[in-house]
Chain A
Amino acid sequence: MARKNKAESEPKSLYRRRENIRGYVFMLPWIIGFVVFSLIPFIATIVLSFMNVSSTVEGYSITPAGFSNYYTAFFRNTEFVPALLSFLGMVIPYTFVIIVVSFIIAYLLNKIQLGRGLMRTIYFLPVIIMSGPVMSQILERADESVEAAQGMSGYEGVFILEMIRSYSPAVANFMEGVFDELTMILWFTGIPIVLFISALQRINHTLYEAAKIDQANEWQTLWKITIPMVKPTALVATIFTIAQLGTYDTSAIYNLIKTATGNTQSGFGFAATYSWIYCLVVLIVIGCSFLIFREREPRRRK
């Protein structure tokens, strides 16, 4: 064909231009969508957070408000700062526990032969059915049963916990929180487990053989080979987990943004401020995890 022959005989720049055009033809729908529904909204949210938005009969009336929305969010509204703190208090320990637990499960799953398919099916199941309403039904049920069974707290008088509490109440509270919502935390491990398993299987077998010849034991190979090799995957899993937790329906901040969005009379400016601060916090957390996994050994695991 004529077109084909030309492409081969013409200088490279023409070929490149062609590649350019072709690439953009296929990318076009996504690029349009990205610009219209992601890039512009993202910038607009930042702008709106400095505005007063009220919806009137002939559309939205937008007036500049300076920093008043931020001032309201941090100093006047009594719900926002606690909600933000409780979100941080949830996302950091949860992510840590989720990543560690899913790595352990993946490591163990990689060691067995029989029934591993079945096991993986079970561990992956929550990914399929997890949605906000289902989770809140399950959590509600858990709350009711715990209260019904033991009154205030289910862990009153557990010896080890009391022992830890006498040293550091903060650690004990953290552990209580983790155990309270263990099921929920575990349900977030579905995708990280699968990611870790595939990372473990991609590790070159010869590394382990070399280590074995050098008389390294299982524990040493775990720390010197396995964990360094899965570190990049741990980063991906962390980002995935934070993103999932960030859009998790029952967190307080999420509901705050939701109600602010629903309040069309005055809420849009505030809602934009809320969600922008929230987004910033999520991005900072993701940035921190990036630094932790990039620069050095994951110190927290040791």
Chain B
Amino acid sequence: MKSFRDSSGVIMVGKRPLRWYGRLAVQILIYFILIIIGFVYLEPIFEIIAKTFMSADDIIDPSTTWIPKKLSLDNLKIAADVLDIWPTLLATVLFSGAMAAAQTFVSALTGFALSRYKFKGKSIWMVMLVLTFIVPVPVLMIPRLMMFVTAQEATGIQMIGTVLPQGIMALLGQGVYSAVLILIFYTSFNMIPKVLDEAARIDGASMFKVFWFVVVRISASTILVVFLFSFVWNWNETYITGTFLRGHLPLLPGKLALFNSEFDSVVSAQGTAFRLNEAYKMAATLLSISPLLLMYAFVQRKFIEGIENTGITGE
């Protein structure tokens, strides 16, 4: 653990250290600013939650902004119906999980190679790695799409509209923000002393054994962090998914994007005269972010430490 010491120890104004009440005032001011900014961060989420549990009357009533007069689960039910929540949720979790597993595995391999071996052209590959992060994805998508369409026609295997293209790209280290994941592993592996590998090699371990039994075993927390990041990023990614999957697999963010039109079709099929109002949209948004919020509630500390201790910081 890092020590959370105040970076300057005592807050100084002018030439003398402040007295206790001066320091207290400064601290209160800092808290005040931080809480205000924090509220701006959370305001949309608060509003989403508030609107979700409001009944139709409360939405129309201008005197209710935050706290519903009567708690109602109708919005949630209708939104869940429209999103087809259980199959969608299952598909999204499985999809993101599989992508994250593939990305984590290949990132660990690449990070290990970069951290442990001095090979020719290593610095060039490092530069290329960073460049893959900087270059915007749309510039790569058209040839990728053409490639997969051509491959599909050549082999006869259905590719567009399946998870295959993204799976292949994730397995070859070209998934969502793969470069960041690799850099996380790279720095984390750099912190493991090399004597450990050397000891294992003297005892006759092969390089794969060193990778698997020495380095990977120590890095459980890094692996978790990378997996979670990859999971979240794959979950929230819509552009690549939209291009390759084209809605053939029901995923939550994609469904949310289509919510307005789907809502109309479901509601008209039921024959009920619901008016599309904000509350339904908010309920749908809440449903699509709540799995992530739930996960974050359990592992937030790991997340933040993961980013903090990693190579994104620049060395």
Which of A19-27, A77-85, A167-175 interfaces with chain B? A19-27
In the complex, A31→B132 CA distance in Å?
A: 12
Residues from chain B with Cβ under 8 Å of A121 in the complex: 300, 304
Which of A68-76, A151-159, A275-283 interfaces with chain B? A275-283
Shortest Cβ gap from B131 to chain A (Å):
8
Q: Mark A198-225, 1 if CB is under 8 A from B, else 0.
A: 1111010100110010010110010000
Residues from chain B with Cβ under 8 Å of A178 in the complex: none
In contact, B12 and A218 (Cβ under 8 angstroms)? yes
Shortest Cβ gap from B78 to chain A (Å):
16
Residue A41 contacts which of B143, B242, B295 (CB distance < 8 angstroms)? Answer: B143
Question: Given contacts A48-B143, A243-B134, A261-B141, are A132 and B113 in contact (CB under 8 A)?
Answer: no
Q: Mark A170-203, 1 if CB is under 8 A from B, else 0.
A: 0000000000001100110001001101111101
Q: Does B171 contact A (CB under 8 A)?
A: yes
Residues from chain B with Cβ under 8 Å of A29 in the complex: 106, 109-110, 171-173
Question: Given contacts A23-B118, A108-B34, A236-B312, are A38 and B304 in contact (CB under 8 A)?
Answer: no
| Most chain B beta-carbon neighbours within 10 Å: one of A128, A142, A272, A278 | A128
In contact, A131 and B9 (Cβ under 8 angstroms)? no
Interface size class of A (residues with CB under 8 A): 35 or more
In the complex, A217→B10 CA distance in Å?
A: 11
Q: Does A138 contact B (CB under 8 A)?
A: yes
In contact, B140 and A45 (Cβ under 8 angstroms)? yes
- Count chain B residues whose beta carbon lies closer than 8 angstroms to a beta carbon of A: 107
Residues from chain B with Cβ under 8 Å of A124 in the complex: 300, 303-304
Q: Does B275 contact A (CB under 8 A)?
A: no
In contact, B173 and A30 (Cβ under 8 angstroms)? yes
Question: Given contacts A33-B173, A131-B238, are A111 and B7 in contact (CB under 8 A)?
Answer: yes
Within 8 A of A (CB), among B1-52: 2, 4-15, 27, 30-31, 33-34, 37-38, 40-45, 47-48
In contact, A132 and B238 (Cβ under 8 angstroms)? yes
Question: Given contacts A195-B307, A201-B2, are A141 and B134 in contact (CB under 8 A)?
Answer: no
Within 8 A of A (CB), among B198-213: 201-202, 204, 207, 211
Question: Given contacts A30-B182, A235-B314, A272-B142, are A125 and B296 in contact (CB under 8 A)?
Answer: yes
Residues from chain B with Cβ under 8 Å of A122 in the complex: 38, 41-42
In the complex, A28→B181 CA distance in Å?
A: 17
In contact, B134 and A283 (Cβ under 8 angstroms)? yes
Interface of B is mostly: helix
Residues from chain A with Cβ under 8 Å of B235 in the complex: 131
Residues from chain B with Cβ under 8 Å of A197 in the complex: 308
Residue A136 contacts which of B137, B150, B257 (CB distance < 8 angstroms)? Answer: B257
Beyond contacts A112-B34, A233-B314: 12 other A-B pairs, Cβ-Cβ < 8 A, are A29-B106, A33-B171, A125-B42, A128-B232, A186-B40, A191-B307, A195-B312, A199-B313, A236-B312, A247-B136, A272-B142, A282-B136
The 7 residue pairs across chains A and B that have the minimum distance between CB atoms: A33-B172, A23-B119, A131-B236, A23-B117, A26-B113, A41-B143, A30-B173
Q: Can you offer 30 A-B residue contacts whose CB atoms are under 8 A?
A: A23-B116, A23-B122, A26-B112, A26-B211, A27-B125, A29-B110, A30-B182, A33-B172, A48-B142, A48-B143, A109-B34, A111-B7, A112-B30, A125-B45, A129-B45, A133-B253, A134-B236, A137-B256, A138-B44, A140-B281, A141-B44, A183-B44, A197-B308, A198-B313, A201-B7, A218-B11, A233-B314, A258-B242, A275-B138, A278-B138
Contacts from B to A (Cβ < 8 Å): 2, 4-15, 27, 30-31, 33-34, 37-38, 40-45, 47-48, 106, 109-110, 112-114, 116-120, 122, 125, 128-129, 132-147, 149-150, 153, 169, 171-174, 182, 201-202, 204, 207, 211, 232, 235-239, 242-243, 253-254, 256-257, 259, 278, 281-282, 284-285, 288-289, 292-293, 295-296, 300-301, 303-304, 307-309, 312-314
